[in-house]
A and B are shown apart, each in its own frame.
Chain A
Amino acid sequence: MTPTPQFLGRNMFDLYDYSREEIMYILEAAKGMKEINLREYKKIPTLRGKTICTLFIENSTRTRMSFELAANRLSADVVSFQASISALQKGESLQDTVYTLDAMGIDLYCIRHSSPGSPQLVHKHSGKPVINGGDGRHAHPTQALLDIFSIWEKLGDLKGLKITIVGDILNSRVVRSNLIGMQKLGAKVTVCGPKTLMPGNMESVYGCKVEYDLARALKDADVVMGLRMQLERMTEGLFPSLEEYSKHYVLSKDTLKYAKRHALIMHPGPMNRGVEILPEIADSSQSVIVEQVANGVAVRMALMFLILGGKA
């Protein structure tokens, strides 16, 4: 018997603080939430009277909308703080911003920030639980949870699955959180990309496999995830052209022949069609890319519900 996981008042900085059992518990809760999202009236009163703040110091419309929709569907009040139109532009520190917001009675913060460790800082100054919506290249646990949920829903238990993640590993917080979560559930993860976009010590830090050759990386994969290749990396001198990158690392019918026949295709979005993934793959029946977005709302609802102690 595993003890009932305790979520009340906890932070979600990253998945390393959560056990296998706790991650499974979140997935089960998300399953229930997903069912609510399919109803005609997509709302339950469970977090009525609670106030959730989305604190987005780094812009991201999609993720912020997902968090806000999740909060709305649980009947929480939502306030949104965006750096581009706020006092931070006028030089106010994050510390002072948090003091100000806290005075207004926030119960839970969902933060996106370009600097690793910022969610910890928000928690330190507010004393309130914080859900990390992405901090620099460090972590993005809700994305990892929705990715894991999407796999679990389609393929069941992750134990023994071979998952290959391809692209700009260096700059990806999605990879880092997924490595922790997926491997906790027993999956075998391979990361693949050009050496200039691969951080050092990946094997020793995460216990994952590193491949620089796409065919080898995709061999017998059950799940294949592409990552967004950003144009800026080219000007940073990390690779010569999108065309050359694509030639070696694009997910296409041709390259996916190395993976298992019905391998699941994933992408955290937004996609660069034709660069890291071809439409023939992104829009194929194996692709769960659009469903990942729907699952994102469910997973975030589950977390908010568990952390704020909503009544079922």
Chain B
Amino acid sequence: MKIYIKNANIYQNGKLKKSEILIDRKKIVKIGTKLNASAEKIIDAQGACVFPGFIDLHVHLRDPGHTYKEDIVTGTKAAAHGGFTAVCCMPNTEPVTDNIASVEYIQLRAKEHGSAKVYVIGAITKGSNGEEISEMATMKNGGIVAVSDDGKCVQNARLMLACMKYASNFDIPLIIHAEDYALAGKGQIHSGKICTQLGFSGLPALAEEVIIARDIMLAESSGARLHIAHISTAKSLELVSQAKHKGLPVTCEVTPHHLVLNEEAVLGFDTNTKMKPPLRSEKDRLACVEALKSGLIDCIATDHAPHADFEKEKEFDHAPFGIIGLETAFPVLYKQLVLSGQLSLERLVEAFSSAPAKVLGLPGGSLDEGKAADLTIIDLNKETLFSPENILSKSKNTPWLNHSLPGRVMWTICNGNISYQDFQNE
């Protein structure tokens, strides 16, 4: 299908400029002014910005196994609604995505029914049990972009060293969820002031930091490519900074919630403030914002973690960890960081597009002629109300439920097809 986008502010090389885009057969054919092209679909993007399609390195699509929370269809619809054209899905499905058949199932479902490109992440260990190395080389041939035991963490340092050696052998990046089980214990929220006040078991910052320190050392020794998921403490950032200064191939991501919320959000016992890693201190949050600005944090990833209402609507101790994030990610950060003057729009868009692409070597992340037509058109002056009806994810577990946030996605185009369109445009 030919799509002609007119009257747009197009984001290219870190700048917005008035321009037009012509898309044909999945590709961007032309970017320029007064193209005067004919097309089956003409989009008048008056007042809106055209950004490269966002890329999320960290989502849980819950398919197969937990499709009452989310599935590949609804998860990628939510992605498109959030301006994402590509997502990387974590392997903590049921069964765990630790073999080639599971990888191919997800790829096939996504290809046939998905509203976004889905890149599969395989497990580091079989069943993510932290006991034996998974068949990651076979999965790599099948197209996985990384391995991770996300949600779990390999506790045995000897095994982790072997996994790193093996992964580097086949040029597979490892993504780690850093959590020392003994230090984390039965922790529910960040070990800090609020934890003391509410009497919860704490998740100490140390539980994250000692594993990051360990894995950086193991990566240095093994030559592995290490990406740290959802980094959340000032000390963790210090460790990554040291590693980067040494020139080690270490990268990291941060979630929107760790950039805009701190431990105080838990005060009302809303289980949508319960996640791992937990919301940290204000000092940690500010360190994350600074690190995102400076580039020490490479990119933003949502850790989209859907859970059903009946699971979250429980005693705080009994509710599962995690919140959804695909649809609110850009609006939340645009409002809290860009409009408040703490972060440039350029850096925000980069951290959602070219930066994550670079971390895992994925295509996309920029608007260029001849490249795949993956883009999103966002009206920064319009708001979206994140009511349960407007959220396309199957689950509604977000602290921003019923909030109205600026930065409304008007269209998302993935592979030259319209993957999301605001109802006002229909």
**In the complex, A234 has a CB within 8 A of chain B:** no
- Give per-residue flags for B316-345: 1 if the beta carbon is below 8 A from chain A beta carbons, else 0: 111000000000000000000000000000
Chain B min CB distance to A176 (Å)? 6
Pick out which of these stretches binds chain B: A22-30, A72-80, A194-202, A246-254.
Answer: A194-202
Pair B317/A95 contact, Cβ less than 8 Å: no
Question: A137 CA to B191 CA in the complex, in Å?
Answer: 14
A204 close to B (CB within 8 Å): yes
CB distance from B230 to the nearest CB of A (A): 23
Question: Which B residues lie within 8 Å of A199 (CB)?
Answer: 195-196
| Chain A residues within 8 Å of B316, by CB | 115-118
Number of A-B pairs, beta carbon distance below 8 Å: 58
Alpha-carbon distance between A53 and B314 when the two chains are bound, in angstroms: 20
- The one of A113, A139, A204 in contact with B315, judged by C-beta atoms closer than 8 angstroms, is A113
Chain A proximity mask over B258-284: 1 for CB below 8 Å, otherwise 0 = 000000000011000000000000000
Does B310 reach chain A (CB closer than 8 Å)?
yes
11 contacting pairs across A/B (C-beta < 8 A): A95-B310, A115-B315, A136-B317, A138-B198, A176-B197, A199-B195, A200-B192, A200-B196, A202-B196, A204-B193, A205-B193
The verdict on B247 contacting chain A, using a C-beta distance below 8 Å, is no
Q: Is B200 an interface residue (CB 8 A)?
A: yes
Measured between alpha carbons, how far is A120 from B313 in the docked complex, in Å?
A: 12
Interface string of A111-139 (1 = CB under 8 A from B): 00111111011000000000000011111
The verdict on A60 contacting chain B, using a C-beta distance below 8 Å, is: no
Q: Which residue of A lies closest to B201 (CB)?
A: A137
**Cβ 8 A contact of A116, one of B191, B192, B198, B310:** B198
A136 in contact with B196 given A114-B317, A121-B269 (CB within 8 Å)? no
Residues on A lying within 8 angstroms of B by beta carbon are 93-95, 113-118, 120-121, 135-139, 173, 176, 199-202, 204-205
What's the nearest-Cβ distance from chain A to residue B316, in Å?
Answer: 5
Pick from A114, A201, A202: contact of B192, CB below 8 A.
A201
Tell me whether A116 and B314 are in contact (CB under 8 A).
no
Which residues of B have CB within 8 Å of A121? 269, 314-315
Further contacts, 15 of them, CB under 8 A, given A116-B269, A176-B199: A93-B313, A94-B314, A94-B315, A95-B310, A113-B315, A116-B200, A117-B316, A118-B315, A118-B316, A121-B269, A121-B314, A138-B198, A173-B199, A200-B193, A201-B192
Residue pair A115, B196 in contact (C-beta under 8 Å): no
Q: Nearest-CB distance from B59 to chain A (Å)?
A: 27
CA A226 to CA B343, docked complex, whole Å: 52
Question: Which chain B residues border A205 with CB–CB below 8 Å?
Answer: 193, 196-197
Let me know if A117 and B315 touch, CB within 8 A: yes
Q: A65 CA to B316 CA in the complex, in Å?
A: 27
Q: Contact: B314 with A136, CB < 8 Å?
A: no
Residues of B within 8 A of A137 (CB): 199-200
Contact B199–A139 (Cβ < 8 Å) = yes
Q: Is the interface of A mostly helix, strand, loop or mixed?
A: mixed
Residues in chain A near residue B197, CB distance under 8 A = 176, 205
Q: Which of chain B's residues have a CB closer than 8 A to the CB of A204? A: 193
A113-B315, A176-B199 known; A93 vs B192 contact (CB < 8 Å): no
Q: With both chains docked as a complex, state the minimum distance between the C-beta of A11 and any C-beta of chain B, in angstroms.
A: 13
The residues of A that contact B200 with a CB separation of less than 8 Å are: 116, 136-138
Is the beta-carbon distance between A138 and B199 smaller than 8 angstroms?
Answer: yes
Check A200 against B198 for contact (C-beta < 8 Å).
no
How many angstroms between the C-alpha atoms of A231 and B310 in the bound complex? 36
Distance of A176 Cα from B199 Cα, bound (Å)? 8
Tell me the complex Cα distance, A117–B314, Å.
Answer: 10
Query: Could you mark each residue 197-234 of chain B with 1 if its beta carbon is under 8 Å from any beta carbon of chain A, else 0?
Result: 11110000000000000000000000000000000000
CB closest residue in chain B, given A180: B197
| Docked CA distance A180–B160 (Å) | 47
In the assembled complex, the Cα of A139 lies from the Cα of B200 at a distance in Å of 11
B138 smallest CB distance to A (angstroms)? 40
Determine the residue in chain A with the shortest Cβ distance to B269.
Answer: A117
Q: A117 to chain B: which residues have CB within 8 Å?
A: 198, 269, 315-316
A113 to B317, CA, bound (A): 11
Chain B, range 296-323, C-beta contacts under 8 Å to A: 310, 313-318
A116/B199 in contact, CB under 8 A: yes
Q: Which 8 A-B pairs have the closest CB atoms?
A: A137-B199, A117-B269, A138-B199, A115-B315, A115-B317, A199-B196, A117-B316, A201-B193
Which of B192, B195, B269, B315 is packed against the most chain A CB atoms within 10 Å? B315
**B334 CB, nearest partner CB in chain A, Å:** 31
Residue of B at shortest CB range from A114? B317
CA distance A70 to B316 in the complex (A): 29
Residue ID in chain B nearest A179 by CB atoms: B197
CB-CB < 8 A to A93: which residues of B? 310, 313-314
Q: How far is the CB of A261 from chain B (nearest CB, A)?
A: 34
- How many angstroms from the CA of A200 to the CA of B196 in the assembled complex? 7
